[in-house]
Amino acid sequence: MNMQTAITMTAAETALVDAYTAQIGELPGEGAVLSARDSLLANLRQQGLPTRRVESWHYTDLRALLRSVPAFDPTAFAQRVDPLVSGSSVLAVLNGKADTKNLPAGINVRSYAESLIDGVAAADLVERDQDDAIGRINGSFVRDGFEIEVPEGTVLEQPLEFQLVQSAGQSHSRFPVTFGANSKATIIERHLSVNDAASLVTVVSDLILDEGADITWIILQQQGASDSHLAQVNFDLGTNAKLRLFIINAGGKLVRQEVHGVTTGEGADFKLRGINLLGNETHTDVTFTLGHDVPNTTSTEILRNVLFDRAKGVFQGQIRVAPDAQKTDAKMACNTLLLSDDADFSAKPELEIFADDVQCGHGATVIDINPTHLYYLRARGIPENKARAMLVNAFVDEIVEELEDEGLIETLETIIAAWLEKHA
């Protein structure tokens, strides 16, 4: 017999279930897609949003934190903005709807709505595991996005920018991207909010890197101060594939960015670089899992977090090394600059190592501004607030500098400096 605790649904849970009933007629896809949606929503309704009793959500009690969910707003208006790096190809998703005008040449691209309509998407609409709340919400409501294939050997000289602009309501998007063998590209996944209205944005990106693909994927999250942002990147790295994933969180009220990867080919290399700029009342969680499943793969993860005000931050990093994944080299570091007594950061590194010839390490530090550094700058005539901003900037800039592309570095530095000026 199925023992179920009768729990009262929260306002957010009720809103999600009601929204599904109201929206399902409008959402693309039928048949297998529809039944996949139904089954994800049934699980959501049955299990509710995850609480702190669920291990992977321990520091982000989604049920308590997601107080409300804004209704879908079909009248909301959002438009494209200039790309982050001039010359980029832009693939815009405006309030959850893909803009299919002027699709870039050289790659195979179509809107995800098409994939939902012809049913190909049905295979994507599954949960990673029973705690996959993001996959569940996104899969129930996903409406659009882009499905992309970068052909074998293709080198994209200019970045490709996924531009998600939200003005109100909800948007649920998906980006399955396959990078063919030896392809090379820089992808910018950019989340913007055009006003202060509360939005719920979910996004799931599924990346497959074939042999020798060399990809830089940059997530720049700049949503509004009342927005909820639930995002997931899943990746699979083939032989000698390289993925550099940069995540910059500089907005949002409730943010959970999950990254889940596996290395499935020898010689694969993964780098995660994260900058969390957290101010006001934000709660921002970066949760990362990586399975080194085959021998001779490498990964490094470095997070730099800066917290002001009453911000709360979380980093969970789990590295698993499979029994035959010898010669794995994995290093994880999480450094936090706490600039307010009311701010709070939780770091949970986990190493699960089942092979004996590996190098794995992790470290977490929490620091304040170095008073000697501050004094030195002030002794040269730089006022205290400006000197502090320079030192905070320096703390995160070391990460940005790794990007190598001067134009991109400068753009990101400008965004970071502007954020710090506003919050310091």
Partner 1 sequence: MLEIRNLHARIAEDGTEIIRGLNLTVKAGEVAAIMGPNGSGKSTLSYILSGRSDYEVTEGDILYNGESILELDPSERAAKGIFLAFQYPVEIPGVATMQFLKVALNEQRKYRGEDELSTPDFIRRVKEAAAKLQINPDMLKRPLNVGFSGGEKKRAEILQMALLEPKLCVLDETDSGLDIDALKIVSDGVNALRSPDRAVIVITHYQRLLEYIVPDSVHVLYKGQIIKSGDKSLALDLEANGYADIIDAAA
Contact residues toward partner 1 (CB under 8 A) are 372-373, 375-384, 386-387, 390-391, 393-395, 397-398
Q: Which is nearer to partner 1, 117 or 382 (CB)?
A: 382
Minimal distance, residue 401 CB to partner 1, in Å? 8
Tell me which residue has tokens 């909010």: 193
C-alpha–C-alpha distance, residues 252 and 255, integer Å: 6
Helix/strand/coil (H/E/C) assignment for every residue in 266-308: CCCEEEEEEEEEECCCCEEEEEEEEEECCCCCEEEEEEEEEEC
Shorter beta-carbon distance to partner 1: residue 172 or 304: 304
**Residues 225, 254 contacting (CB under 8 angstroms):** no
- Which of 288, 419 has the CB closer to partner 1? 419
Q: In the structure encoding, which two tokens stand for residue 224, read together?
A: 């509004």
Type and span of the H or E element at 418: helix 406-423
Q: Which is nearer to partner 1, 93 or 303 (CB)?
A: 303
Closest approach of Cβ 369 to partner 1, in Å? Answer: 11
Pick 327 or 386: Cβ nearer partner 1: 386
**Residue in 44, 47, 54, 38 with CA at minimum distance from that of residue 4:** 47
Task: State the Cα–Cα distance between residues 411 and 64, nearest whole angstrom.
Answer: 36
Of 302 and 391, the one with the shorter C-beta distance to partner 1 is: 391
101-128 burial: b if 16+ Cβ within 10 Å, else e:
eebeeebebbbbbbbbeeebbbebbebe
Q: What is the smallest separation between the CB atom of 352 and partner 1, expressed in angstroms?
A: 33
Q: CB of 306: closest distance to partner 1 in angstroms?
A: 12
What are φ and ψ of residue 58, in 5° steps? -60, -40
Phi and psi at residue 398, in whole multiples of 5°? -55, -30
**CB 410 → partner 1: shortest distance, Å?**
12
Residue nearer to partner 1 on the CB measure, 190 or 304: 304
Strand, coil or helix: 211: coil
**Least distance between partner 1 and beta carbon 378 (Å):** 4
Tell the smallest beta-carbon distance from residue 415 to partner 1 (Å): 17
Query: How far apart are CB 386 and partner 1 at their closest, in Å?
Result: 6
Q: Please say whether the beta carbons of 244 and 215 come within 8 A.
A: yes
Tell me how far, at minimum, the Cβ of 396 lies from partner 1, in Å. 8
Of 364 and 417, which has the nearer Cβ to partner 1? 417
Q: In the complex with partner 1, which residue's Cβ is closer, 117 or 377?
A: 377
In the bound state with partner 1, the residue whose beta carbon lies nearer, of 32 and 374, is 374
CB 365 → partner 1: shortest distance, Å?
A: 14
CA distances from 366 to 93, 101, 280, 287, 306 (A): 37, 47, 19, 18, 10
155 in Cβ contact with 122 (< 8 Å): no
CA distance 174 to 231: 10
* Smaller CB separation from partner 1, 7 or 394: 394
Tokens 């809107």 correspond to: 111
Compute the least distance from the CB of residue 328 to partner 1, in Å. Answer: 29
Phi, psi (deg, nearest 5) at residue 75? -90, -10
Residue-by-residue DSSP string for 145-176: EEEEEE-TT-B-SS-EEEEEEE-SEEEEEEEE
Supply 46's token pair.
């049955």
Token readout for 267 is 């010689």
